[in-house]
Amino acid sequence: MQQPTAPPPPAAPPATSAAASTARKRMNPAAIVGIILLVALSFYFMYTYSGPFRWLAELQMKVMSSYSEELTLILTMFVLILPALGIVKVVQVAVRNMGVGGGTSAAAATAGSEIEIKLRGMHFSGILVWPFMGFIAIAIGGFMYWRGATAGPLTAITAKELEDGKKPTSSYLSVEGVPLWKETISFKETSVDCYVPLVSKDWKGDAVSVYAQVKEDGLPRPSKELELKSFKGVTAFGGLPGPVRVLFEKGNFKPAAEYLVVETKEEPAKLMGFGKWPMIVGAALVVGGLSVWGVKRMVRGRG
C-alpha cells in the first residue's frame, strides 16, 4: 500500500503592508543630499534672478503684472526636484529590469541584491524631515537676526560720498541725496515697493550708487524736482529685486558695481524681532523630530 506523503510546507507569507509602509517612509541619504543641493540651487537662481526662477517670474508678470518671490521660489524648487525624482525612478526601473529580466547572470543578480540590502541599511527615517525643515527655519531666522544685530549704529552718508567710492561703516544708514521721482520703478510682491534712484546734485549721468526702497502709500510728492532728501533704513541684502535691476540696467540709471539699496521700512531692532520667531519654531521642529526619532529607535531596539 502506498504510504501517504506529507503535505508541502506552506508558502512564505507575502511581505506585510506594514513592512512595505516602513520601507516607503525611509529616505535614502543620497536622495536627501540631492534635495538639499537642488534647494540651494533654487536660492541661487532667486538671488541671481536667472534660470527657471527668472522664467517663472517673468511669466507671472506677463500674466498678472506682478509676481510673488516666495511663490516663485517654491515653484522653482518643484521645477528642479520633480524632474530629478522622475529621472531617478526611471533609472531604478531600468536597473531592476536589467538585473532580473535582462539576461544578466545569477552572480550579477546576487551582487545587486547585496548592494540593495546595504543601501537599505543606510536609509533614514522619514521623521527626520522635521529637524531638516527646522534647520532651514533656524537658518532663515538666524540670518534675519544677524542682519539686525550686525547693522551697527545709524550712520549718515551722502549720495555724493557713495558716488566717490566711500564705503559706509554700517549697514544702518541715513543717506542724503536727490531722489529722481520720475524714474521710480514700482514692484509688486505682497505689497507695492517703489525703488527710487538717489544721486548727488553734481551727478553727471554715470551709474547710480544708491537707491531708496519706499512703500507706495508713503511715496512723497515733492514740489521741486531737485530736492535734497534723507532716507533712513537698513541696506538690502542682495540689492535690487531681479526684475527691477533688469529694468534699470536697460535704461539710463544703471546700478554701479557696488551700489546700495536702503530699505526704509527696515530697522535693526525690527529685523531682530522678526528673526526670533523662525528660530523658535525651527528649534521646536528640531527637538520634536529628533525626540520622536529617538523614541522610535529605542522601541524598535527593544522589540
pTM over 0.85: no
pLDDT at 8 over 90: no
Report pLDDT for 72. 79
pLDDT at 188 over 60: yes
Region 190-209: mean pLDDT is 87
Q: Which residue has the higher pLDDT, 45 or 213?
A: 213
Domain range annotation of the chain? 21-122, 155-269
pLDDT at 118 over 80: no
- Write the secondary structure of the chain as one string of H (helix), E (strand) and C (coil): CCCCCCCCCCCCCCCCHHHHHHHHHEECHHHHHHHHHHHHHHHHHHHHCCHHHHHHHHHHHHHHCCCCHHHHHHHHHHHHHHHHHHHHHHHHHHHHHHHHCCCCCHHHHHHHHHHHHHHHHCCEEHHHHHHHHHHHHHHHHHHHHHHHHCCCCCEEEEHHHHHCCCCCCCCEEEEEEEECHHHCEEEECCCEEEEEEEECCCCCCCCEEEEEEEEHHHCCCCCCCCCCEEEEEEECCCCCCHHHHHHHHHCCCCEEEEEEEEECCCCHHHHHHHHHHHHHHHHHHHHHHHHHHHHHHHHHHHC
Give residue 29's pLDDT band: very low, low, confident or very high (50, 70, 90).
low
Q: Which residue has the higher pLDDT, 9 or 236?
A: 236
Report pLDDT for 158. 94
pLDDT at 292 over 80: yes
Give residue 127's pLDDT band: very low, low, confident or very high (50, 70, 90).
low
Give residue 162's pLDDT band: very low, low, confident or very high (50, 70, 90).
very high
Give residue 265's pLDDT band: very low, low, confident or very high (50, 70, 90).
confident
Q: Which residue has the higher pLDDT, 38 or 32?
A: 38
Give residue 123's pLDDT band: very low, low, confident or very high (50, 70, 90).
very low
Report pLDDT for 121. 46
User: Percent of the chain having pLDDT more than 90?
Assistant: 22
Q: Which residue has the higher pLDDT, 219 or 251?
A: 251
pLDDT at 15 over 60: no
Report pLDDT for 133. 82
Region 39-60: mean pLDDT is 77
The CATH number corresponding to 155-269 among 2.40.50, 1.10.540, 2.60.120, 2.60.40 equals 2.40.50
pLDDT at 45 over 50: yes
Report pLDDT for 11. 55
pLDDT at 261 over 90: yes
Report pLDDT for 76. 82
pLDDT at 84 over 90: no
Region 38-63: mean pLDDT is 76
